[in-house]
Structure formats: structure tokens, C-alpha cells
Amino acid sequence: MSAVCKLLFCLITLGGFLPMPSPCQGQARDWVEQFSADEKSLKFKYRIHLSPLREARLTEFYAKWIKKLSEVDFNSLDRDQKVDTVLLNNHIRLQARKLQENTELDSIVKQIIPFWKPLIEILQEHESLKKLDGKAVAQSLADVTLAIQKDQTRYKLFMDSRPNLVYRTTLRMEEILRSLDEMNRFYDEYDPIYTWWVAKPYAELTKEMKACLESLQVSLKGDAISLTEKIIGQPIGAKALDAELQSAMIPYNSRELIDLAERELTWCDNEMIVASKALGFTDWRDAQNFVKAKHVEPGQQPEMIADLAREAIQFLEVHQLITLPAIAKESWRMKMMSPARQKMSPYFLGGNTIIVSFPTDTMSHADKLMSMRGNNIHFARATVHHELIPGHHLQYFMNDRNKPYRKIFSTPFWLEGWAVYWETLLWDMDFARSPEDRIGMLFWRKHRCARIIFSLGYHAGEMTPEECIDLLIDRVGHERNNATAEVRRSIMGGYGPLYQAGYMLGALQFRKLHEELVQSGKMTNREFHDAVLKENYMPIEILRARLLELDLELNYKPNWRFYDETATPSKGQ
């Protein structure tokens, strides 16, 4: 069969799709790239989350890919192709499950705002590039407006009992309003008949919808607190949480992980006492407050961050821990974080740009002091390398140059786990020069443990946002403003339910893998760390299978119990 015939065969048998897994296509990398591009295109086309058409189209898309991957001769693939195929299969099944979960939640949203259907039908018709009948649209909009005016109580029934779903409803309503505005601007003035019929009904409808949206938002505030200040999330429940863990290749349930985090946090507590006594304090909080007071003066924070970045690079190179490309060392930048963003992210963030958090002259006196205390010299020394090198900046740099198609398999266990792993490795290598440095490193390590406890506890329905904040204050030593910002960022910042837990859990996975490959003598530190970065994103258990050349199967299930409860957390985990 000629190449042209083979291509035609693929297009015909796959119903118009470009090549997917079949006798026509032999590279798993191509499958990943094809799936990623097609999914992006479909989500670009079908943007409205309440649309049944979007749900049906994506459901069909995921089902076809799952079927095609099941037909692949898995045993005939080489090791890298097996890894890619397992990752893709797991990723597609995860996306299909999330689509179904979101559909179920949105079914309740549709009960809260029963006027959704005719609006979505109009928007779907518009997205399908069909010319709208202005008179018919005007009648539908007028009918919806009347329905909202007559039924002012239905959506209010959910306000007290389901605040998380009311919050979700406000997001969906905002999306509908944006889509209606886009549709109306498409026709308005360009189509005189449409404008003649729709202008008035559209204005009346949007007025009623905005009033309804405002009423829902007011119900969420409940008091004088601004909706932008109040913490309202969407806990997914223990069952869904455990399903997320399985998809992330974590063979533990949420309760086991919370217990694990408590054990790690206890180790941190004991080490904090040792460091505190070295400074002459009997109470670790007094020692931590002493360290928090050691901050630079206003205007000096950027220079300190740059010095800490250079110090970390020098340490890595002296100890031959990892290969650092020259361009990676010179290509990062720095900028300051706005006061508004500091309400969500009280500490600096990183990547190819490190975003420095420090008070400005517009902040209140109390907020200035909290920000300076939270971003003190010794806390910063424990995290600059997390954000830059060997942390996120180096990760992003290497991801762009090694198997970049694997970026769709992004996971916090690899991304954040790697950065925290380095914090723990540098602790083991006595990177801390003083008791103040050790308290700084321990603050962040305690914070990572607490993130497991409060994020999993919240999503399992066991902790409220207020209890999460109290945990960070009481067990870690956060300033209240910073603790509140951390919880708000975790719950309302658009992160997945496992993201915050991924920091420390991923670090523990990397530590165990380091034990298996480096401490056993199979690899040097540099060989191990270079190998990790050349594989790009993936669950750590699949990375382990790749580096140890373990057997895989298409529907691989996690089984690596990476945490040794008998080991000392500092040296054995």
C-alpha cells in the first residue's frame, strides 16, 4: 500500500481524524502530540461548560482515544514508547473522569439557575455558525427574562446549604454573560434585523441576570467581608480524592497520607526545638519570631535574592550535584509582586522569572510588618533555590529541551516535588550555615507537611478554611495574613485538589528514588538528577519504572509504597 493510500485509509477509517494509534502510526510521541492538539482545538471550539454539545463532543473524543490505545500492540513498543503510551492512557482516562464529575456538579448548577437551557441553545447555535433568527432570539430572551422575574426564590434555596455550588454557579453565570456579550457584538449593528429585534430584550435580560448574579454573590458574602476576601472553594469529597490519587499514581488513600504528614511534621517539630535551643530559646515560636525579625531594609530585597541564587548555583557546582547549562544560569529574571497579588501569594514565586514578595508604601503598617517578617533573610535562603536553580527555572529550561511533548502530563508531584526534594537534600548536605538557617528551612518543611494535612483534609470534607488557617498559624508559625493568603491561594487559586499535597509527597518520592539509585551506587548524584530532568513531566512511579527499567502495562496501577515508616525522615526518606 502506498503512503498516500495509507493516509487515506487512516482518514476514512477514523472518521475524519488525523492519524491516531493504528497500523498507520507507530510512534507514541506522535499520539501524544496528536491528542494534545486535537483536545486543544475542541476545547477552543466548545467553550461553554454548561453546553450539552461540549460534554457530548469531548466524551466521544476521549472514548475514541481510549479505544484506539486499547488496540495498540503494547508489547511491541520500545521502553520509551511504553512510557508515553501508559502516560497518555492514564491522562485521557483522568480527563474523561473529570469531565463526568464536572457534568454532575453542573447538573446541580442547572437546578440553581433553571433559565440556562434556552440561553445555551442560542449560544450553541451561534457557535455552530448558523445565522440566528433575530425575532426568535428576541422571544427566547424575553421568555428567560420573565422566568427570572417570576422565580426569585428557586436559586435562593441553595444559598445556605450549598455555598460551594452557589460559588460554582456564579462562575458559570459569568461565563454565560461573557458568551452572550460576544454573540451580541457579533450581530449588533452588522445585522439590522437582528438589532431591531434583539437590542431591547438583550438589555433587559442581561440586567436581570446581573441582578441575579449579584444576589448570589451577596448570599456568599454573608457579612461585610468582600467576596474577593472570603474563602469559598469546591471540596471534591473523599471518594473523588482517592480517585485523583490513583490517577496520580499514588497508592495511598487520603487518610494514610495525612497520617504520613503528621509523622513528618513531628520530626520537624523536634528539629525545630534543637535549632531553637541553639539560639537560646526554650519556645520554638520565640526562636522563629527572632529569625523573622532578620529581614533586609526596604529596597534591598532584590539584591538579597540575587545573592542567594548565585550562592545556590555555586553550591551545586562545587558538589557536582547536577549539570547546569550556561544559558540556564544566566537567563532568569526578577520582578516585584503587586500588593493585590500578595493577598493571594504572600511569598515569592518562581520560574524563569522570580517574583519577589515584599511590602510597598501603599500597604498598612501592620501588613508591611507581616510581609517583611514572612519574607525574612533566612526563610528566603531556604526557598530561592526552590524557585530558580535547581528548582522551577531549571525544570522549565530543561522541559523545553527534552521531550517537550510530555508537558501535558504535568503533575505537582514532579514539578513541586522536585523543588522540595532539593530543599531536603540540601538540608542533609548541611547547606544551612546556622541555627537561623535551619529554622528557615524547617519553617518551609513544616509548611509542606501542613499543606498535605489541610488540603486533603479540606477536600475530604474534614476541615474548614478557618481550620486550615489555624493549622498554619499554630503548627507552622505563619503570620495570620500570610496563612489566610496561603489557604485562599490553595482553595481559590485554580489549583487541583492534590496540588498542595504534591510538594512534600513528591519530595518523599524523589528521596526514595534517590535512595534506590544513588545511595545504592547505581548512579551518581549528577547522573540521577540529569536523568530526571531529561524525562520531563510524569508521575514519579512511572519515572521510577523508566529509570529502573521495570515492566509496564497499558492500564498500569500504582503499587510503589515509597514511604518507609521505620526510617528517620531526615536521612531515610
Alpha-carbon Rg for the chain, nearest whole angstrom, is 27
Q: Report the alpha-carbon distance of residue 150 to residue 15 in Å, rounded.
A: 47
Average pLDDT over residues 322-326: 98
Residues of the chain above pLDDT 70, percent: 90
Q: Is residue 201 assigned to a domain? A: yes
Yes or no: say if 89 and 555 are a contact pair by the CB < 8 Å rule.
yes
Q: Are residues 304 and 360 in the same domain?
A: yes
Q: Are residues 18 and 165 in the same domain?
A: no
> Which helix (H) or strand (E) segment is 333 a member of?
strand 333-336
What 3 state SS string does 204-266 have? Answer: HHHHHHHHHHHHHHHHHHCCCCCCCCCCCCCCCCHHHHHHHHHHCCCCCCHHHHHHHHHHHHH
Work out the number of other CB atoms within 10 angstroms of the CB of residue 564.
14
Least confident of 161-170, 455-464, 486-495: 161-170
Task: Look at residue 323 and give its three-state secondary structure.
Answer: coil
C-alpha cell at 175: 461565563
Instruction: Tell me what pLDDT residue 86 has.
Output: 98
Q: Give the dihedral sign, CA 391/394/396/398.
A: negative
Give the residue from 91, 109, 127 where a domain finishes: 109
Residues of the chain above pLDDT 90, percent: 72
Q: Are residues 309 and 442 in the same domain?
A: yes
Average pLDDT over residues 157-179: 84
Q: Report the alpha-carbon distance of residue 445 to residue 443 in Å, rounded.
A: 6
Average pLDDT over residues 106-123: 94
Render 119-175 in DSSP notation, one character per residue. Answer: HHHHHHHHHTTPPP-HHHHHHHHHHHHHHHHH-SSTGGGGTTT-HHHHHHHHHHHHH
Q: Are residues 43 and 186 in the same domain?
A: no
Q: Is residue 570 assigned to a domain? A: no
Q: Is residue 559 assigned to a domain? A: no
Average pLDDT over residues 15-42: 73
Instruction: Tell me what pLDDT residue 277 has.
Output: 98
Q: Is residue 349 assigned to a domain? A: yes
Q: Report the alpha-carbon distance of residue 433 to residue 205 in Å, rounded.
A: 65
Instruction: Tell me what pLDDT residue 153 has.
Output: 61
Q: Report the alpha-carbon distance of residue 378 to residue 290 in Å, rounded.
A: 11
Q: Are residues 154 and 38 in the same domain?
A: no
Q: Are residues 350 and 484 in the same domain?
A: yes
Render 470-539 in DSSP notation, one character per residue. Answer: HHIIIII---HHHHHHHHHHHHHSS--TTHHHHHHHHHHHHHHHHIIIIITTSS-HHHHHHHHHHH-S--
Q: Encode pLDDT of 464-517 as tens digits.
A: 999 999 999 999 998 888 899 889 989 988 899 999 999 999 999 999 999 999
Q: Is residue 363 assigned to a domain? A: yes
Q: C-alpha angle with apex 394: 389 to 399, nearest 5 degrees? A: 165
Least confident of 8-12, 180-184, 199-203, 402-406: 8-12
Q: Is residue 256 assigned to a domain? A: no
Q: Are residues 413 and 509 in the same domain?
A: yes
476 contacts: CB under 8 Å, gap ≥ 6: 443, 446, 447, 450, 483
Give the residue from 81, 109, 137 where a domain finishes: 109
Instruction: Tell me what pLDDT residue 152 has.
Output: 65
Number of separate domains in the chain: 3
On the 0-12 / 13-18 / 19+ scale of CB atoms within 10 A, 188 is: middle
Q: Look at 223 and 164; give whichever has higher pLDDT.
A: 164
- Residue 96: which pLDDT band, with cuts at 50, 70 and 90? very high
Q: Are residues 100 and 143 in the same domain?
A: no
Yes or no: say if 383 and 348 are a contact pair by the CB < 8 Å rule.
yes
Yes or no: say if 347 and 383 are a contact pair by the CB < 8 Å rule.
yes
C-alpha cell at 526: 549528577
Please choose, from the candidates 332, 451, 436, the residue with its C-alpha nearest in 3D space to the C-alpha of residue 384: 332
Beta pairing class for 333-336 and 353-356? parallel
Q: Encode pLDDT of 68-85 as tens digits.
A: 999 999 999 999 999 999
C-alpha cell at 226: 468582600
Q: Encode pLDDT of 250-295 as tens digits.
A: 999 999 999 999 999 999 999 999 999 999 999 999 999 999 999 9
Please choose, from the candidates 233, 254, 234, the residue with its C-alpha nearest in 3D space to the C-alpha of residue 243: 254
CA–CA distance from 181 to each of 112, 141, 176 (Å)?
A: 22, 13, 8
Q: Are residues 167 and 287 in the same domain?
A: no
Least confident of 145-159, 300-314, 418-432, 528-542: 145-159
Q: Is the pLDDT of residue 7 over 60?
A: no
Least confident of 20-24, 335-339, 444-448: 20-24
Instruction: Tell me what pLDDT residue 167 has.
Output: 87
Average pLDDT over residues 163-179: 92
Give the residue from 188, 221, 254 where a domain finishes: 221
Please provide the size of the chain in residues: 573
Q: Report the alpha-carbon distance of residue 43 to residue 79 in Å, rounded.
A: 31
Q: Are residues 193 and 179 in the same domain?
A: yes
What separation, in Å, do the N-terminal and C-terminal C-alpha atoms of the chain show? 56
Q: Are residues 23 and 103 in the same domain?
A: yes
Q: Encode pLDDT of 205-239 as tens digits.
A: 999 999 989 888 887 766 545 545 678 888 999 99
Prior bond of 118 cis (ω within 30°): no
Instruction: Tell me what pLDDT residue 155 has.
Output: 59
450 contacts: CB under 8 Å, gap ≥ 6: 261, 265, 471, 472, 475, 476
Please choose, from the candidates 30, 89, 82, 38, the residue with its C-alpha nearest in 3D space to the C-alpha of residue 405: 30
Q: Is the pLDDT of residue 16 over 50?
A: no
Q: Are residues 479 and 398 in the same domain?
A: yes
Average pLDDT over residues 7-19: 41
Q: Encode pLDDT of 348-407 as tens digits.
A: 777 888 888 887 888 888 788 777 887 888 988 988 999 999 999 999 999 999 999 999
Inter-axis angle of helices 254-278 and 499-514, nearest 10: 80
Instruction: Tell me what pLDDT residue 566 has.
Output: 74
Instruction: Tell me what pLDDT residue 17 has.
Output: 43
Q: Is the pLDDT of residue 13 over 70?
A: no
Q: Is the pLDDT of residue 24 over 90?
A: no
Least confident of 19-28, 328-337, 373-382: 19-28
Q: Is residue 540 assigned to a domain? A: yes
Instruction: Tell me what pLDDT residue 25 has.
Output: 39
Q: Is the pLDDT of residue 10 over 50?
A: no
Q: Report the alpha-carbon distance of residue 311 to residue 384 in Å, rounded.
A: 10
Please choose, from the candidates 484, 453, 554, 494, the residue with its C-alpha nearest in 3D space to the C-alpha of residue 230: 484
Amino acid at 367: D
Q: Is residue 531 assigned to a domain? A: yes
Q: Is the pLDDT of residue 559 over 50?
A: yes
Q: Which domain holds residue 161?
A: 113-221
Q: Report the alpha-carbon distance of residue 254 to residue 239 in Å, rounded.
A: 9
